Amino acid sequence: METSRRKGFVFSTYQAPNLSPFDKLFEIFTELITHTSGDFDEAIDWLRQLDKEYELTTPEYTIDDFIEDLKKKGYIREEIKPDGSGDGVTLSSKMEQNIRQQALKQIFGKLKRSGSGNHRTKHSGQGDEQTGEYREYRFGDGLEKISLTESIRNAQVNNGIDSFQLTEEDLVVEDSRFKAQMSTVLMIDISHSMILYGEDRITPAKKVAMALAELITTRYPKDTLDILVFGNDAWPIAIKDLPYLQVGPYHTNTVAGLQLAMDLLRRKRNTNKQIFMITDGKPSCIRESDGTYYMNSNGLDDYITEKCYTMAAQARKLHIPITTFMIAQDSYLQRFVREFTEANQGKAFYTGLKGLGEMIFEDYETNRKKRVK
Residue 302, pLDDT > 70, answer yes
pLDDT in tens, 218-235: 888 889 999 999 999 999
Q: Mean pLDDT over residues 71-89, rounded?
A: 77
Report the chain's mean pLDDT, rounded to a whole number: 83
Task: Kindly report, residue by residue over 11-51, the tens digit of the pLDDT.
Answer: 777 666 788 999 999 999 999 999 999 999 999 999 999 99
Contact (Cβ atoms closer than 8 angstroms) between residue 294 and residue 288:
yes
Phi (first) and psi of residue 116, to 5 degrees:
-85, -20
What residues form DSSP beta bridges with 326?
279, 350
Question: Is the pLDDT at 140 greater than 90, yes or no?
Answer: no
Residue 266: pLDDT band with limits 50, 70, 90: very high
pTM tops 0.85, yes or no: no
Closest by CA to 221, choosing from 143, 117, 133, is 117
Mean pLDDT to the nearest integer, 167-185: 76
Residue 242 has pLDDT above 50, yes or no: yes
Percent of the chain with pLDDT strictly greater than 90: 48
Neighbours of 302 (CB within 10 A): 9
Query: What crossing angle do the helices spanning 21-35 and 40-54 adopt, rounded to 10°?
Result: 130
Q: In what order do the strands lie in the sheet with 224-230?
A: 234-237, 224-230, 182-189, 272-279, 322-326, 347-350
The C-alpha atoms of residue 319 and residue 313 are separated, in whole angstroms, by 10
Contact predicate 190/250, CB 8 Å: yes
Contact 259, 277 (CB under 8 A): no
Q: Is the pLDDT of residue 329 over 80?
A: no
